Structure 1
């Protein structure tokens, strides 16, 4: 078993950063908020649409997907 200091040294993590995230992760999470997403079937000029979700997940989906397919992915990722 490693000490926190040894763990951070092995992974080149600043000790203060480790304790910051440890403290942050122990705190009760904020109330979940709804974020509206507007979907339409318009054609886009790019090849992908990037979705950045509140849970820090980022997904890049092809623009050719229908609104229903995007909705399906959003539900799966949350």
Structure 2
């Protein structure tokens, strides 16, 4: 897993039904590749599969700023 890229991780998480990890990886991909429409689509499909609003996958994602980076 340590050597897998984001797309490979997504496939592995889907295979083993690890949707929390898949959600995190898709969100990471969306933040790092905002023009990647496939990531948005996959995020929407994942949200729908767990009975959440798939349109959330189309919304802009915010990065997390740590306290130490606010100096």
Specify the TM-score bucket, using the shorter chain as the normaliser.
under 0.3
TM-score by length of 1: 0.20
Greater strand content: 1
Higher RCO (C-alpha under 8 Å, 6+ residues apart): 2
Greater helix content: 2
